[in-house]
Amino acid sequence: MNRVKSERRRCWVRRTFEPLLLAITIVLTTAALQATTLARMSLAKMTQAASVVIRARCVGNSAGWDAGEIWTLSAFDVENVWKGASPERITVRLLGGRAGNLTSSVSGVPRFRPGEEVVLFLEPTARGDYSVVSWEQGTFRIARNAAGAESVTQDTAAFATFDPATQRYEATGIRGVPIETLRARVADALSNSARRKP
């Protein structure tokens, strides 16, 4: 008799929750399959759009549900501030991630590994943390060669962005540029922006 009750309970659970899980999976899969279009931004425009530009090291990630979406929160120790003011540790909130058995993936949204160093162009969110300006475009990964010289590569070096001038999608971006060259270009963009203001 207990075996029959147990089997009925399992059937009820399957009938009740399998359609719900299927619906959630379909919604998340559909969202992930929708194309993400990023219009190309120049370094000068990203510098203007960003409230904060930092060199930082990722110290950890966490993901969870918020307002019906999965979000990933990445914590960074700030090593240098190139624009704006920043605390010593900053949190970056980006759409998507893994929560429990569900994964939400959004094309064009960068992900960070603990220990890696990056240059980020950031804008504040309403929740008091930050988002990356134009996602992958505002993300630059730092690499070192055998001699210890540092260079940066923009995530969009491998991700197609839309160029309104040519009306084409192209994978372009800064690739293998010395980090001090990037910092000088950001400083030039800030200087030029300040000169244009009345």
Say if residue 94 is exposed, middle or buried (CB neighbours under 10 Å; 0-12, 13-18, 19+).
Answer: buried
Residue 6 scores a pLDDT above 70: no
- The DSSP line for 80-111 is EEEES---SEEEEEEE-EEETTEEE--TT---
The two tokens of residue 122 are 């950031």
Strand 117-124 and strand 160-163: pairing?
Answer: unpaired
CATH class held by domain 43-196: mainly beta
* Cα Dmax for the chain: 85
Residues facing 77 on adjacent strands: 57, 89
Nearest alpha carbon to residue 134 among 64, 58, 42: 42
pLDDT tens-digit series, residues 66-96 = 999 999 999 999 999 999 998 999 999 999 9
> Which of 16, 18, 86, 23 has the alpha carbon at shortest distance from 51?
86
User: Does the pLDDT value for residue 102 go beyond 80?
Assistant: yes
Q: Which of 162, 117, 124, 181 is nearest to 143 (CA)?
A: 117
Give 15's pLDDT tier (boundaries 50, 70, 90).
low
